[in-house]
Amino acid sequence: MHPAHRHPSHSHPAASSPQPHGQATLRLVAWEITRNCNLSCVHCRAAATQGPYAGELDTASCFRLLDQIAEVGSCIVILTGGEPLLRPDIFDVARYGTGKGLKMVMAPNGTLIDAANARQMADAGIRRISISLDGSRAESHDRFRGVPGAFDAALRGIECAKAAGIEFQINTTITQTNLAEIPAIQQLAIELGAVAHHIFLLVPTGRGKYIADQAIDAAQYEETLNWFYDQKKHTPLVLKATCAPHYYRILRQRSRAEGETVRFETHGLDAVTKGCLGGSGFCFISHTGIVQPCGFLHLECGDVTRQSFVDIWKNSPIFLDLRDEDKLKGKCGICEYRRVCGGCRARAYEATGDYLAEEPLCLYQPGHHQESRP
């Protein structure tokens, strides 16, 4: 889940020069604050169900973790799950993070939001929530989410959040089953009053492995991202593609071909800065405190119950690898777009067992005429 805080600042991508290898500005932390969930989504990374799950960080541990995240910088912290509203102290944690100067956002599924807890969200400083809609109507969304009534409940939750003054974005995971519905979902997002639409390309981990045959292929991937690019001229929504690093190549290819100067959002979760941010601008923290490059790349980079988050972020060998685009292999390693795309490291790892291997779902052939590195 990626909710986002909007920021008016824009910048040409050239203004964001690559940092020295090993150094990285932490922009986003997705924190699986609980794995408990009231839904059973077919694509779930965590294969989450109604818990309880052992080993979740207690309230005091959550506060210590937020202290350490704030030491690294004033980033965005996404309280995700599972379903974060199932955690009894969720508003205490959110309020504490807000007090530390962190930008706190939340990724509920929408079905549990009511007028009372929407006000609590606002009071705790939650700046934005994301609600996932994977169908434009109840039948398709509920099938994807695994619970009848999920669609209608999410729409009710959205209305409660709006009444409390909380902005929201719509997230959509794209598979073969809902590919044809994406335009209708985007139109629904506009009608509901969303500020943004973020699309996610399926990464086959967790329960997503069992629907890997529903993932779109490389040609559909390219076609979908080009369609998404075209929508920016026709929609009031802020658009962002996630788990789809190729989009950052397409943005530059299309804008250059059309003679446009590319201006990107560079702050907040709508930021369009680089394709794969895993380990370089983004990380994931599990419900038990395990730090990973992202929620789909299951590589343990540290454990906040045993070491400081500051130390993990600065010194994890995996993070240091991911911050050096020159370590990428195959065609990703010679691609002229490697610093803005980078390929999906989670897809590479799932396909090959090597997180530095080339992205398996990419049609693009790099322009450099040289042999790819092994």
Q: What is the pLDDT of residues 291-318, one digit of tens each?
A: 999 999 999 999 999 999 999 999 999 9
Phi, psi of 201, deg, nearest 5: -90, 130
Judged against a pLDDT cut of 50, whether residue 1 lies above it is answered with: no
pLDDT computed for residue 44 by the predictor: 56
Q: Give CA separation, 145 vs 3, 32, 36, 150, 154, in Å.
A: 19, 18, 15, 7, 11
Q: What is the pLDDT of residue 221?
A: 87
Compute the mean pLDDT over every residue in the chain, rounded to the nearest whole number: 85
Q: How sure is the predictor about 203, in pLDDT bands with cuts at 50, 70 and 90? A: confident
CA–CA gap between residue 221 and residue 216 (Å, rounded): 6
Sign of CA dihedral 312, 81, 70, 327: positive
Residue 326: its pLDDT value, please?
A: 95
Q: Percent of the chain having pLDDT more than 90?
A: 65
Question: pLDDT tens across 3-50, in order?
Answer: 433 332 222 222 233 445 566 899 999 999 999 887 766 645 444 455
Task: For 152-187, write each residue's pLDDT tens digit.
Answer: 999 999 999 999 999 999 999 988 888 899 999 999
pLDDT reported for residue 205: 60
| Model confidence pLDDT, tens digit, residues 214-243 | 567 889 889 999 999 999 888 999 999 988
Non-local CB neighbours of 262 within 8 Å, separated by 6+ positions: 12, 13, 251, 252, 255
Amino acid sitting at position 307: Q
Q: What's the CA gap between 302 and 317, in Å, rounded?
A: 10
* pLDDT recorded at residue 100: 98
Mapped onto helix, strand or coil, the DSSP state of residue 104 is: strand
Is cis: bond before 22, omega within 30 of 0? no
- pLDDT at position 325 over 80: yes
Closest residue by Cα to residue 247 from 270, 274, 269: 274
pTM of the model: 0.86
Element (H, E) at 99: helix 90-99
CA pseudo-torsion sign 267, 269, 271, 276:
positive
pLDDT-based confidence at 202, cuts 50/70/90?
Answer: confident
pLDDT at 139 over 80: yes
Q: What is the pLDDT of residue 191?
A: 97
Cα Rg for the chain, rounded, in angstroms? 19
**What integer pLDDT is reported at residue 4 of this predicted model?**
37
Please tell me which residue, 69 or 176, carries the higher pLDDT value. 69
**Cα–Cα distance list, 356 to 22, 109, 169, 278 (Å):** 16, 32, 32, 12
pLDDT higher than 90, residue 267: no
